[in-house]
Amino acid sequence: MQVYLDNNATTMVDPAVVEAMIPFFGDIYGNPNSLHRYGTASHPAITKAINQMYKGINAGDNDDIIFTSCATESNNWVLKSVWVDKILNGDKNHIVTTEVEHPSILSTCKFLEEQGVKVTYLPVNDQGIVEAHTLRSFITDKTALVSVMWANNETGMIFPIKEIGEICRERGVLFHTDGVQAVGKIPVDVQDVHVDFMSMSAHKFHGPKGIGALYIRNSQELTPLLHGGEHMGGRRSGTLNVPYIIGMGKALELATENIEAKMAAIRAKRDRLEDALIAALEDVMVVGSRENRTPNTILISIRGVEGEGMLWDLNNALIGASTGSACASEDLEANTVMLAIGADHELAHTGIRLSLSRFTTDEEIDYVIDAFKKAVLRLRAISSSYAKVQPTPGGEAGECNIHH
C-alpha cells in the first residue's frame, strides 16, 4: 500500500476536475479575448468557473476574483502593489505580518524591507496563532497593510481572521489574508469576514497546479503586478489559462459543496490517526487544539526521532509526509513554527506533518498507524536520546556545542 499524506503541500487533481478541463486543450482552444467563434466558444465555461469561484467563497458581485498563476503571485501582487500605491505613492511606510507566513509573504516582506519599508512580524502564541489584541497594538497611522494567513500550512491552526478583519476595518488599514490552507478545507465566507484581499491556490483543493486567484473586495484599487493586455479588465494581463480556470472553478465547487460533511469525514479519519499515534507512542506531542485546526492536519513531535530520519523511514514504507525539521531544509535552524509556539527546543527538530485529503481511506489510516509505529520504534532503538548507558564522566555533551 502507498499512502499520500502530504496534502498541505499539494493534492491529487480530482478526476472530475480533469474531465472538466480536457475539452479546453484540443477542442475549444481559442483565445477568449478573440472576437471570432473560436474565442467565444469558451465563454460559457469560463463564466461558469467564475460563478463557481464566487459561490465557493461567497463573494459579492461588486467584488473581483482575479485568476493568477499561483498563490505566490497573488501574495506578491498584494504586497508589492500596496507598496507602490500606499507607500511609494502615499504617506504610509509600514506593513504588519506574522513570523509564520508562507515564504511568498516572508521573502517578499524581506525584499520590501530592503526597499525601506518597515515590517512588523507578529509572534504566535503557544497554540500557534496570532492573537488579535497583539495585532491591534502594532497598527500605527503609518500602517498600509496587515497580511495574516487564514490557516497555517504546518500546524493547520486557524487564525482569528474575523477579529483581525474588524480591527483593520476600525483602523482603516488594508487587510490581506493568505487563504491557501483555508479555502476548500474549512468554510470561507468573505461576506462574513472583512478582508480586502485573499490569495487562493487551486492545487491545494484538488485542482491543477499553476492556477491561483486573488479576491479583491469591492473591486478596489490595486496596481497590477503584470502589465500587458486588457485581460481580466486589465487587472492581470496574460492570455487566460482557460482549462486551468475551468479546473479551478470545478475544484472549488467540489471542495465547498457540503463542506461541513466533507470536513466531518476527513476529521474523523484525522482524529482516529491522531488518537492511535498518541495512544501507541510515548513522548509525542501534537501541536494545537483540534477544534481550531484544519480538519486534515496533524503536526506531531516525536522525542528522540529526527524529522528527516522519520520521513526516510515513512518513505521506505511508501508513505509521503513532510517535516519542518532543519535537517531537511536549506538552513539548520529549528522549525520556526515549532519554536514560535514555544515548543520544547528538543521537539523543534522532530516535527512530522501528516495532512489528509477527502481521498484518504480508512485502510490507508490503518496502514499508516502501523508503519508509523514501526518507524518510531526502529529510530528510537538507534536514537542517542533513548540510550541507556550514560557517558563516561566528562563525556557529556555541552549545550548545543556542535557546529550548528
Q: Which residues bind other proteins (CB under 8 A)?
A: 303-309, 312, 315-316, 325-328, 330-332, 334, 345-346, 348-350, 381-392, 394-397, 399-404
CB of 329 to other proteins, least distance (A): 10
Using the minimum distance from each CB to other proteins, give the nearer residue, 196 or 313.
313
Pairing mode of beta strands 197-201, 212-216: antiparallel
Using the minimum distance from each CB to other proteins, give the nearer residue, 312 or 359.
312
Using the minimum distance from each CB to other proteins, give the nearer residue, 62 or 390.
390
Which residues, other chains included, contact 227 with Cβ-Cβ below 8 Å and sequence gap of 6+?
237
Cα–Cα distance between 97 and 124 in angstroms, integer? Answer: 11
Alpha-helical regions (H) of 9-131: 15-21, 23-26, 37-40, 43-57, 71-82, 103-114
Q: Point out the catalytic residue in the list 70, 109, 168, 327.
A: 327
* Alpha carbon separation from 17 to 12, 41, 68, 84 (Å, rounded): 10, 19, 18, 37
Using the minimum distance from each CB to other proteins, give the nearer residue, 5 or 161.
5
If DSSP codes are grouped into helix, strand and coil, which group holds residue 83? helix
Using the minimum distance from each CB to other proteins, give the nearer residue, 247 or 309.
309
- List the grid coordinates of 233: 479588465
CB of 164 to other proteins, least distance (A): 32
CB of 389 to other proteins, least distance (A): 5
CB of 404 to other proteins, least distance (A): 5
Length of the chain: 404
**133 neighbors 139 (Cβ within 8 angstroms):** no
CB of 113 to other proteins, least distance (A): 15
* Alpha carbon separation from 337 to 98, 136, 283, 346, 355 (Å, rounded): 11, 22, 19, 13, 16
Cα–Cα distance between 307 and 326 in angstroms, integer? Answer: 8
- List the grid coordinates of 131: 492573537
Cα–Cα distance between 193 and 196 in angstroms, integer? Answer: 10
Q: Which one-letter amino acid corresponds to residue 52?
A: Q
- List the grid coordinates of 307: 524529522
Using the minimum distance from each CB to other proteins, give the nearer residue, 1 or 381.
381
Active site annotation includes 70 = no
What's the longest Cα–Cα distance across the chain? 85
Using the minimum distance from each CB to other proteins, give the nearer residue, 6 or 253.
6
CB of 316 to other proteins, least distance (A): 7
Q: Kindly report the backbone phi and psi dihedral angles of residue 71, in degrees, each rounded to the nearest multiple of 5, phi listed first.
A: -70, -30
**310 neighbors 294 (Cβ within 8 angstroms):** no
Catalytic residues: 327
